[in-house]
Amino acid sequence: MTDTSMSIRVLLFARYAELLGRSELTLEVPFGATVEEAISRVRALPGGVALPARLLVARGCDQVGYDTRLAARDELALLPPMAGG
pLDDT band at 83 (very low <50, low <70, confident <90, very high): low
pTM of the entire structure? Answer: 0.89
85: helix, strand or coil: coil
Provide the number of structural domains found in the chain: 1
52 located within any domain: yes
H-helix or E-strand spanning residue 41: helix 35-43
Range of the domain at 23: 5-79
pLDDT of residue 49: 96
pLDDT of residue 85: 57
Q: With a cut of 60, say whether residue 59 has pLDDT above it.
A: yes
43: which residues sit within 8 A by CB, 6+ positions away?
A: 49, 51
Q: What is the pLDDT of residues 10-49, one digit of tens each?
A: 999 999 999 999 999 999 999 999 999 999 999 999 999 9
Strands 56-59 and 75-79: antiparallel
CATH of the domain at 54: 3.10.20.30
C-alpha distances in Å from residue 20, one per residue of 32, 61, 62, 74, 78: 25, 23, 23, 20, 12
